[in-house]
Amino acid sequence: MEGGPIRVLVTGAAGFIGSNLVESLLQRGDEVVGLDALTDYYDPAIKRANVERLASPRYRFIEGDLADLDAETLVGLDVRAVLHLAGQPGVRGSWGEQFGAYTHANVLATQRLLEAVKAAPGVRVIYASSSSVYGQAETYPTTEETLPAPYSPYGVTKLAGEHLVGLYRANDGLDTVAFRFFTVYGPGQRPDMAFTRFLTAARDGDTIRVFGDGEQIRDFTYVGDIVSALIAALDSERPLPRVMNLSGGSSVSVNQVLDVVRSVTGLDVGVRYEPHVRGDVFRTGGSSEKAQDALGWHPETSLESGLARQWEWVRGLA
Residue 182 engages ligand UGA in binding (rule: CB under 6 A): yes
Residue 154 annotated in active site: yes
> In whole angstroms, how close is the CB of 30 to ligand UGA at the nearest point?
26
Maximum alpha-carbon separation in the chain: 56
Beta carbon nearer to ligand UGA, 89 or 141: 89
Residue 93 engages ligand UGA in binding (rule: CB under 6 A): no
Residue 216 engages ligand UGA in binding (rule: CB under 6 A): yes
Query: Around 57, how many Cα atoms within 13 Å sit in the side-chain half-sphere?
Result: 0
The interface mask with ligand UGA, positions 108-147, x = CB under 6 A, is ----------------------xxx---------------
> Of the ranges 13-21, 62-70, 191-199, 234-242, which one interacts with ligand UGA (CB under 6 A)?
191-199
Distance CA 292, CA 274 (A): 38
Report which of 59, 132, 40 is spatially closest to residue 91, judged by C-alpha positions: 132
Residue 82 engages ligand UGA in binding (rule: CB under 6 A): no
> Of the ranges 15-23, 61-69, 84-92, 309-317, which one interacts with ligand UGA (CB under 6 A)?
84-92
Cα torsion 204, 207, 209, 212: sign: positive
Beta carbon nearer to ligand UGA, 157 or 176: 157
Direct distance between the N- and C-terminal alpha carbons of the chain, in angstroms, rounded to an integer: 41
Residue 254 engages ligand UGA in binding (rule: CB under 6 A): yes
Residue 256 engages ligand UGA in binding (rule: CB under 6 A): no
Residue 247 engages ligand UGA in binding (rule: CB under 6 A): no
Among residues 59, 102, 151, 154, the one annotated as catalytic is: 154
Distance CA 114, CA 217 (A): 34
Residue 20 engages ligand UGA in binding (rule: CB under 6 A): no
Distance CA 143, CA 145 (A): 5
Residue 158 to residues 11, 60, 197, 276, 298: CA-CA distances in angstroms? 15, 27, 24, 22, 23
Task: Give the 3-state secondary structure of residue 252.
Answer: strand
Beta carbon nearer to ligand UGA, 130 or 287: 130
Beta carbon nearer to ligand UGA, 112 or 158: 158
Lay out the sheet containing 217-222: strands in order across.
Answer: 184-185, 217-222, 250-253
Q: In this chain, which of 18, 89, 249, 286 binds ligand UGA, going by CB under 6 A?
A: 89
Distance CA 231, CA 295 (A): 10
Residue 39 engages ligand UGA in binding (rule: CB under 6 A): no
Query: Around 108, how many Cα atoms within 13 Å sit in the side-chain half-sphere?
Result: 13
Interacting residues toward ligand UGA by CB under 6 A: 89-91, 130-132, 181-183, 193-194, 197, 209-211, 216, 218, 254, 277, 280
Q: Supply the residues annotated as catalytic.
A: 154
